[in-house]
Amino acid sequence: MKTLAIKLHRALLDFVHTVRAFSRGTAILGKGGPLLGLLSQHWPLLLAGLSAIGAFFLTQSYAESKVMQERERLLPKGGLIEVLVAARDLGSGDIASPQTVAVRRMPQEWSLPGAIMPLDFDSINQRRVVRAIKAGHPLTVEHLRQGPAEQNGVRLEPGYRAISISVDEVSSVGGLIQPGDRVDLWGSALPLIQPSESGISSLPTDRTPVAPRARLIAENLRVLATGAKTERRSDQAAEQRGPNQAGTYATITLAVPVGLANLVLAGQLQGRLGIALRAAEELPRPAVVERRVEKSAPVTYAPIEILIGSAEGGLR
């Protein structure tokens, strides 16, 4: 563009000089019309106008070239790429979804190792964030948990608490319990409390031995984890372990409704809890059944009568 403007400017100057020489020649010979006479009289104005036009194109070409040079200097050599970034501040436990992830263009040299491209969104959709990330920062594989959030058994619904209880080979049903299973919790029955004549409740004094009884504390509880494992074993892995080799763990973590958390924790403090594994074909009930302990009505006492008398014992 710059070279073309220079050539155009030179061509205009040559044309003006040619017209000027031709007008002078015709004036000397006494030939030519009014137009040539006008050109011979006002050739300085014509030259100035053509020079201004050439200078305008030349200046525009120079400005465009400078802008292109500055743009090339500012832009990174690798160009711009599109990456997935956090649409808002994400904390540990949030889910990667179209509502929490956005697409941004950024210089390639600024991209972090392991940055996720828009074409890879399906592979990270519904995964759980394990490291907090600020809004606008690129998402990397280190920020996300491997595996969908629905399969890792860790996410708690509102109104639930994660409670871990100690188990052994017997209480864990031989190690057959896996994350995602449904279980029932059983505990020992509480001893009967008898109220005394003074109104103070106490345990039976005769200590008569009674047959052990069990009471259902909670049912249909979802297993979040067995030990540190939050994912189920595949059927192929179970076959490789063999029929007599079950999982080994000392604790299981359950999703317990807030209303039953007190009973489950009290059952642990009272003694050993029994765990019953529910059948996989049994549909979970919409709500966990809560067993409530009936409380006796509070004992009320008559007000104390106050007698006021004289020294001789007479009443006033």
pLDDT digits (tens, 9 = 90+) for 275-306: 888 886 665 544 444 444 455 555 554 554 54
pLDDT of 91 higher than 70 = yes
Q: What are phi and psi of 231, to 5 degrees?
A: -125, 145
Asked whether the predicted pLDDT for residue 316 surpasses 50, the reply is no
The pLDDT of residue 46 is 67
**Within this chain, do residues 255 and 184 fall inside the same structural domain, yes or no?**
yes
Q: Are residues 243 and 176 in the same domain?
A: yes
234 within some domain: yes
- Residues of the chain above pLDDT 90, percent: 3
Residue that finishes a domain, picked among 148, 173, 191: 148
**Domain-located, residue 170:** yes
> Do 175 and 237 sit in the same domain of this protein?
yes
Q: Dmax over Cα atoms in the chain, in whole Å?
A: 167
Residues 6 and 70 grouped into a single domain = yes
Mean pLDDT score across all residues of the chain: 70
Please report whether residue 123 resides in a domain. Answer: yes
Domain membership of residue 133 (yes or no) is: yes
User: Which has the minimum average pLDDT: 113-117, 132-136, 204-208, 230-234?
Assistant: 204-208
3-state secondary structure of 198: coil
pLDDT at 293: 45
C-beta separation of 271 from 190 below 8 A: no
Confidence check: pLDDT of 240 > 60? no
Distance CA 227, CA 250 (A): 6
3-class SS of residue 241: helix
Judge if 206 and 264 occupy the same domain: yes
Does some domain include residue 197?
yes
Given a cut of 60, is residue 55 above it in pLDDT? Answer: yes
Q: In this structure, are 136 and 175 located in the same domain? A: no
Last residue of a domain, one of 148, 177, 194: 148
Domain count, the chain: 3
Quick: pLDDT tens for 11-54: 666 666 666 665 555 554 444 455 555 555 665 666 677 677 77
Q: In this structure, are 7 and 50 located in the same domain?
A: yes
Domain that holds residue 187: 160-277
Which of 18-22, 124-128, 132-136, 160-164 has the weakest average pLDDT?
Answer: 18-22
> Residue type for 9, please?
H
- 102 pLDDT band, cuts 50/70/90, is very high
Q: What is the pLDDT of residue 257?
A: 92
Distance CA 276, CA 253 (A): 14
Judge contact between 68 and 47, C-beta under 8 A. no
**Can you tell me whether residue 202 is helix, strand or coil?**
strand
Q: In this structure, are 17 and 57 located in the same domain?
A: yes
**Whether 94 contacts 101, CB under 8 Å:** no
Q: Which residue has the higher pLDDT, 193 or 251?
A: 251
Average confidence (pLDDT) over 255-281: 84
